[in-house]
Amino acid sequence: MGRPRPRRLLRASFAIFSLAAIAAGGPAALGQPGGKPADPKAAPAAPAASPSAGETLRHAARGRFLVGAAVSSWGLNDPKVAGLVASQFDSLTAENEFKPASLSRQPGQYRFEAADRFVEFARAHDMKLVGHNLCWHSQAPAWLFRGQDNKPLPRDQALKNLKDHIDAVAGHFKGKVIGWDVVNEAISDAKDEYLRKTPALRAIGDDYIAKAFEFAHAADPGAELYYNDYSNENPVKREKTVRLVRELKAKGVRIDAVGMQCHFVLSDADAIDKLDQSIAAYAAEGVKVAITELDVDVLPRRGRVADIGALEKGGDNPYKEGLPPAVAEAQARFYARLFEVVLKRPGVVNRVTFWGVHDGASWLNGFPVRGRTNHPLLWDRQLKPKPAFGAVLDVLARP
């Protein structure tokens, strides 16, 4: 059974002390999925104090890349979680509140209250806000691309709906976000198929991606524009992503970065090497790379695909009582290698965002098997830093 190195324990003790200082209020649900919905009008929770600057991710990575977290409205309402986010990260992504279905159920009708809280929180804590996302086949209202008969809309109507949606959303947040995940998960997982057959593709055609980027640039010209996807570190999907970047550039369409979600599995021995190769491949196309949804799954699973619709039944749940030290150490080494790759090419990776803050609120407790106990992030369910937190700080502390 492995144990954390003394240096990691020292860093962890500082972080525990710091969290105690910023934890205002009583017990909270820690932002777990299925908790009580947040009051969109409530003021964002704020920390009472900040930890030692040398013990935060945002300070350790400063000047090299942003370090971010995806947070839910429940997380912002929890003083402990909100305090941790404000102290450790300088980039913020809303888990769901910017997605099309969260903002609009009917054409021309938008509710921005919940999303606006993220703007307020980011501004209050000197954080950069990322807009996630403008066009996705999941969590999108049917009216965008389908008629009442559930069949694809005529191309002209679907294009108008897409433009109207992007104008409304990117226009509302113009100047308030650093960048947009313009199109999310449009590339097919099938080996011999290029683009996923989404409602947007069926209604508009292959050029819906280029159109979405054009509309986003026109609506918010100061924001960076990203294409975001999972598993695009794998060679087949990497080549499709390179093809997409080249096609957009050949049309004169602006694309600033490829978003690599990086939902990794601890048992994937080749993952870091594939990440390294993919960062190099995307950089060669003249775009930056953003790691957008990072986590490291420690549980056994059959597949490697992070498609939210690809649920599995059954499956082992070996760590219900906690993560064994040896597994925690292996996860720490995985994270350390990943950040070594990020630092390998200065200026190429401009952001690393974790998909969640602590293990208890991770989507991986319900994916790909519902109801399991996963441990994919840097903080455990009690908001105590894990060996992976110290490992990342150790890498970032290197000259």
Q: Could you give the residue numbers annotated as active site?
A: 293
Which residue has 């990943």 as its token pair?
338
Q: Which of 111, 195, 205 is nearest to 158 (CA)?
A: 205
- Residue 233, CA distances (Å) to 130, 244, 348 in order: 22, 15, 15
Q: According to the 3-state scheme, what is the secondary structure of 60-101?
A: HCCCCCEEEEEECHHHHHCHHHHHHHHHHCCEEEECCCCCHH
**Distance in angstroms (rounded) separating the CA atoms of residues 57 and 62:** 8
Q: Which two tokens stand for residue 48?
A: 């009472």
**Distance in angstroms (rounded) separating the CA atoms of residues 208 and 15:** 46
Q: Are 239 and 190 in contact (CB under 8 A)?
A: no
Where helices occur in the chain by DSSP H, the ranges are: 6-22, 57-60, 73-77, 79-88, 100-103, 113-124, 155-172, 199-204, 208-219, 235-250, 271-284, 325-344, 387-396
Q: Kindly state the helix (H) or strand (E) to which residue 296 belongs, with its residue range.
A: strand 288-297
**Distance in angstroms (rounded) separating the CA atoms of residues 193 and 285:** 22
Number of other CB atoms surrounding residue 251 within 10 Å = 11
SS3 181: strand
SS3 283: helix
Give phi and psi for 327, each to the nearest 5. -70, -40
**Distance in angstroms (rounded) separating the CA atoms of residues 188 and 197:** 8
Q: Are 249 and 280 in contact (CB under 8 A)?
A: no
**Distance in angstroms (rounded) separating the CA atoms of residues 56 and 125:** 14
